[in-house]
Amino acid sequence: MPTLIAAINTRLRDKLWLQALGLVLVTFLAYQPVWHAGFIWDDDDHLTANPAMTAPDGLRMIWSSLAVSRYYPLTLTTFWVQRQLWGLNPLPYHLVNVALHSINAVLIFLLLRRLRVRAAWLAAMLWAVHPVNVESVAWITELKNTQSGVFFFLALLCFLRFETEGGRHWYSRALLCGLAALLSKPSTVVLPLALLLCVWWLRGRWSRTDLLRVVPFFVMALGMSAVAIIEQRGWIVKAGTTEWTLGMAERFVIAGKVVWFYAAKLLWPVPLAFIYPRWDVTSRSWLSWAPLAGLVAIGLLLWGWRRKSWARAALFGCGYFVAALLPVLGFLDVFYFRYAFVADHFQYLAGVGVIALVVGAAATGLERVGRWGRDVGLFAAAASLLLLGASTWKQAHIYQDRGTLWRDTVAKNPNAWMAQYNLANWRSQEGRIPEAIALYEEALRLKPDFADAQYNLALTFWETGRTQEAIDHYELALRIRPGSAATHYNLAVALEKAGRIQEAITHYEQAVRLKPNLAVLHYGLGVALENVGRTPEAIAQYEQTLRISPGFIEARGALARLQAGQ
């Protein structure tokens, strides 16, 4: 019997396709809840309400403009293709994300195997079912993570094949996959660092040739980094927020905390939240520097002992982990940092470094113990897979719809003002107005300068007939964001209903000035002018309305009435 079992194990090791199939099947099983999930936060910006998805020149808009969502042209192209294939049915989008995640697990297995990392299949499986990846897989928007991951790991595999087997075609494929990864998500700019780390792991050194081979990858990464910085800066300026006033000292403090946070979530993924609490960062206390000092100390110790196999493995795994996190350590401004400095989807590529290190170290240590150690290892591996898989299956339920997501986020992080605001929007859509109002007010308590919450709270008051309260909050919204044509227009409508016509006209005029090509604004101004007897001016506004929108029936009727009267 032992001989038979050994023969079966040997056959399984030789059958890579069986191991790959196991990774795919287990991944799809763990993510079964998302088969019934819908669209959530930011899916509108990237897909459902993105004008490039339905415009005749949508692909041109995607590739040539920073104005349509973010600049992920290859990811947005994939969304565009899917939109043509199955419209707004969320199921295929979720299945594509899960499929790409399972492919990434297979590629990680093959990559770790080529790097001669112990227990490569188990490490890949644990990564596939680890709950920190649920945010990347269950969130349709994060196709940019799963898709860029495929090209990222393919680039590593092709480059390593070129390093070990030669053949320019492998190098060309690595370059092509690297470019595709960058065009899918700019955070893959860490690819050249990952390539150098893999070469160092295999050879223990870098040659001049190795460095020259990586130069084209660095050039592509620098180009995409510049585009990403410009794009992120544009969104930050557009938002007009003040969360990015951090000095360099605070950024180093954040970087130290970020690395430890992500490592802790990999080793103990409880609790997981869609938006984590945003840290209050100070560089004045020596304790705030402890996380960074610890990282530096560990790095120096490992480097000093790098000739020992265990230290070399730790340097490789931890080095890749930190390198893959570089774009989100806080040294560069990222729009998401207005909500939190950390998010599970930020460590999608990085997590494999720590997981492979821990699994490989455990496998090596247990094998040295003998048969007893191997039995313990099998039990620990099975238990870990079951626990992580069950946690992923449970976590995936949170992404069923917007309401479920924001309820869970508010429960775990009541200070998340964005979650309070989005849950208020959901409650308002459900018609649960008192709850919506309370949530808007809580969001404003947490972030008093939140113009969108002021606007939506005013809109809710208006829709429930509380005109004066609507006016008060529209005015507060304008103090925060005076350049909002929609707020000026809605305030004008509310003031007109309250009988304050002259004030209404002032805000109509402001709205028209801000959005001169919007027909409804000219029509509203025309009605207000007509009501105070300024007929020639009202006629001029109705005529402008019809120039912009010839089919505006109400404007045509009003103009005909006034002209007939004259």
Side-chain half-sphere CA neighbours of 131 within 13 A = 26
DSSP letter for each residue of 361-387: HHHHHHHHH-HHHHHHHHHHHHHHHHH
Say what the pLDDT of residue 274 is: 96
Domain shared by 411 and 348, yes or no: no
Instruction: Give the C-alpha separation, 324 to 318, whole Å.
Output: 10
Amino acid found at 552: F
Domain shared by 489 and 379, yes or no: no
Domain shared by 456 and 322, yes or no: no
Say what the pLDDT of residue 8 is: 42
Question: Domain of 536: which CATH number?
Answer: 1.25.40.10
- Three-state SS at 310: helix
Domain shared by 397 and 454, yes or no: no
Say what the pLDDT of residue 5 is: 40
Q: Which residues span the domain enclosing 28?
A: 2-402
Domain shared by 398 and 454, yes or no: no
Q: Which of 377, 402, 427 is the last residue of a domain?
A: 402
pTM: 0.90
Tens-of-pLDDT digits for all 566 residues of the chain? 344 444 444 554 558 889 999 999 999 999 999 999 999 988 988 899 889 999 889 899 999 877 777 788 999 999 999 999 999 999 999 999 999 999 999 999 999 999 999 999 999 999 999 999 999 999 999 999 999 999 999 999 999 999 888 788 999 999 999 999 999 999 999 999 999 999 999 988 888 888 999 999 999 999 998 888 887 776 665 665 556 678 889 999 999 999 999 999 999 999 999 999 999 888 888 889 999 999 999 999 999 998 899 999 999 999 999 999 999 998 888 888 889 999 999 999 999 999 999 999 998 888 777 677 677 878 888 999 999 999 999 999 999 999 999 999 999 999 999 999 999 999 999 999 999 999 999 999 999 999 999 999 999 999 999 999 999 999 999 999 999 999 999 999 999 999 999 999 999 999 999 999 999 999 999 999 988 889 889 999 999 999 999 988 888 888 888 887 76
pLDDT tens figures, 258-300 = 999 999 999 999 999 999 999 988 888 888 999 999 999 999 9
Domain shared by 336 and 448, yes or no: no
**8 Å CB contact between 532 and 496:** no
Domain shared by 169 and 59, yes or no: yes
Contacts of 95 (CB under 8 A, 6+ apart): 35
Domain shared by 147 and 88, yes or no: yes
Amino acid found at 254: I
**Burial letters for 521-547: b for 16+ Cβ neighbours within 10 Å, e otherwise?**
bbbbbbbbbbeeeeeebbbbbbebbbe
Say what the pLDDT of residue 239 is: 60
Domain shared by 376 and 514, yes or no: no
The sign of the dihedral angle between the CA atoms of 458, 462, 466, 468 is positive
DSSP letter for each residue of 484-522: -HHHHHHHHHHHHHTT-HHHHHHHHHHHHHH-TT-HHHH
Joined tokens for residue 108:
């990680």
Q: Is the peptide bond before 51 cis (omega within 30 degrees of 0)?
A: no
The total number of structural domains in the chain stands at 2
**8 Å CB contact between 405 and 41:** yes
Domain shared by 384 and 431, yes or no: no
Domain shared by 322 and 429, yes or no: no
Say what the pLDDT of residue 237 is: 58
Q: What is the DSSP letter of 50?
A: -
- Three-state SS at 96: helix
Say what the pLDDT of residue 234 is: 65
Say what the pLDDT of residue 4 is: 41
**8 Å CB contact between 492 and 507:** yes
